[in-house]
Every structure is written in C-alpha cells, then in structure tokens.
Amino acid sequence: MKLKNKLITLVVAFLAAISFALPSQVNAALNGIDVSSNNYGIDVSRVPADFAIVKATEGTGYVNPQFQTNAQQTLSSGKKLGIYHFLNAGDPIPQAEAFVKQVRPYIGKAVLGLDFEDTNYSKVQNANGVVNAKRWLDYVYQQTGVRPWIYMSLSAENGLSWPADVIANYGIWIAQYNSYNPVYGYQPRDLFGSIKQWPSMTAFQYSSMGYLSGWGQNLDLSVFYGDRNTWDKYAAANGSTAPVTPVPSQPAESNVASDTDYAQSGVFKPSTTVNIRTGAGTGYTAVGSYVPGESLVYDHVYIRGSYVWARYLSYSGRYHYVALGVNGGESYGSRSSGYTSPVSHTYYTVRSGDSFWSIASKYGISMYTLAANNGKSIYSVIHPGESLYIR
C-alpha cells in the first residue's frame, strides 16, 4: 500500500516505558507488514511479523493474484491476518460486494480494511469520497458482522469531515512517512502532528522502505496499538461495535498548557488498561499502555481538563505520561508517594505473543540492544518462559 503524497517529517521517537516491578504481561503493540501484488513472489511465512495485511481487491474488477496464497501463508505461520480493499471513485456498493465475495472464507479470522487514498486514475479524498467510504464500510459490516478499519493519510483525517458514526464504529490506520531512507527492522516512532477527529489511532504505517529478513525488497511497516486478543476482537464477526482504540476511550482534550501541576513522586499501579502518551492530554500520541499488575514511578502530577496525569521518565531518557484518573471522579488505579527506586537488574519472562520489539518498547530500549544483551539477533526465536536480561 503506497501513499501518493508522502509527508516528509522530522520525528522524535518516543519509546515506552518504565517500571520498577516486572510486568505480568506486555500489552503495548504488534508490528507487521502489508502486502499486495507490488510484493509479487513474497512468502509471508518467511518474513518476521506479528501480522500481515493482504490486499484482496480494488474497484470492482481486480483481485490480487497473490491474495489467497499470502493469506494462507499468514495464517499457517501463526501471524494475525488482515485483508483490505482499495477504494476507487464510483459506486462503492459493487466494490464492497466484490470484496465480501473474496473474503468470505476468512470472516472471523481476519481484520478487514478499506484503503482510502488518491491515485492518478482515481480521486477519492473529497467530500463525495467520504460518503462512499462510509457506504462501503457500512455495507461490509452489514454483510460480515466485522467492522473494518479505514486506512488514510494524516492529512485526510485532519482535512476531511468524517461522520460521527464512522469515527465511533471503525478504527483508523494512519499512514505517514518521515523519509524515503531505508528502515532496517521494526522501528516504530511517534506520529508527527496529531489526529483531529478519531480519539486515537488503531494502527500506524510509518515507513514504506522497511527491510526485513525473508524478502529482499522494501516493505511497508506498521505498528498495531493492541495485543493479539485485541486484534481478534477487531476480526470477530459478532456484530458488536469494534473498539476504536485498544485502550479505554477518553473524551477528546486539547493540547494546551496544564491547568494545575505540582511536583510529586510516587508509584502508580493501574487497575485498568491506561494509555502511555507523549504529553499530558488525550490529544497526544499513544505509544503503548500499562495494564493491571504493572507499575510505574512518576515524578510530577498535572491536572489538565477532565483528567489527572502522572509524568515519568522512561529508560530512553524521555518523559511519558499516563492518566491517573478523572479529575474529581473515577481513579484508574492506586498510587503511593515518596518512592525511591531500588538499584537492581531487570529481567523479563517471555510470554506467548511477545516479540523483541514489543518487549523493548515496553522498557524504552532498542530491540537491537535487547537482543544483543541476551546473545541473540532480532530474528532469533524467543520462547514463552524464557528469561531475558533487560538492564
């Protein structure tokens, strides 16, 4: 999947996160690829990825000749599967019918998606295109019980007027590239800028120039902000509303200066899943999450709008933020003040579904450093129950 108008941006990569106690699980993200006939000949089973999203159809008459092969390779190698349609201008219902016909065998097994981008032969990023995208999404949901994602550039999310029910019911997969330079291995980064209408991204495609073992040409690289269970919820054909974000939804809040803040150090233990953000506000990018059983050490508290936020320093040397709870209302966990972090080494016990990237992102270190610390490469296989040295 290629955006025709790529955004050239400067990026500061913020990685998550810090914890004084070993986490009971990692719930940060999955990393993966998307493929089409542009990647003709690829064997997805040989490429390291947590997921692969495969192009099935475009318009009303095109079926990707590699669709079935790549979809089966994805499932047989234990990866999570996604399948998408490339929207063309014109009536979206025949396009949706063509897509549903192809994906029937995979309903309940795959996330479904709509690629919403302009080409030199088809312009959809306009008011009429928004109407057509909604009609396509609604039709596919009605026919399959699966609520698809919609893929678009940040400018399309910011600049077009999206209906409230599209925002509420369909997750968004944002594409933005910081450069055309090669990216070796998975190196997710923060979005430059922010989404304006959806509460958060479901997935983020951050490079079209990724290089991974098992394939000698460039690949699109994406990060999904959820775990394997969250992916399965998006794929489920149960007729329920799919989560727009893998963590509890929170009201939109502008990135303005904090109303009140004060210096306080302590330990926060969440009782529900909370986002890790790059600033004290829901408008900032979510780069991961903490779940019940995990802990973090904070050094400052902000009261901003409807929420109370804690700031903490990650191992990468950059500050991140989590919501402690609603200002004057619900608490998202317990906290104690006056904590002094002990000096010790940190180890992590691998769980099913973990990868070097997901573990490294939780601790704010490079996955290459993590692998090297344990005498491995990023392509080495890690097994549940294995103990990895963090720092």
State how far the alpha carbon of 282 is from the alpha carbons of 26, 49, 85, in Å: 22, 29, 31
- Specify the DSSP element, H or E, that contains 32: strand 30-35
The C-alpha atoms of residue 84 and residue 131 are separated, in whole angstroms, by 18
What pLDDT is recorded for position 114? 98
Q: Which CATH superfamily is domain 30-235 in?
A: Glycosidases (3.20.20.80)
Closest to 55 in 3D by CA, of 80, 76, 35, 79:
35
Model's pTM, two decimal places? 0.59
In the chain, domain spans: 30-235, 260-337, 347-389
pLDDT by residue (tens digit) across 231-264? 999 999 874 444 444 433 333 333 333 357 777 8
Could you tell me whether strands 51-58 and 62-63 are parallel, antiparallel, or unpaired per DSSP bridges? antiparallel
pLDDT category, 211, cuts 50, 70, 90?
A: very high
* Fold assignment, 347-389: Membrane-bound Lytic Murein Transglycosylase D; Chain A (3.10.350)
Range list of H helices, 18-64: none
Topology match between the domains 30-235 and 260-337: no
> Cis omega (within 30 of 0) on the bond before 133?
no
Could you tell me which CATH number the domain at 260-337 has? Answer: 2.30.30.40
pLDDT by residue (tens digit) across 137-182? 999 999 999 999 999 999 999 999 999 999 999 999 999 987 778 8
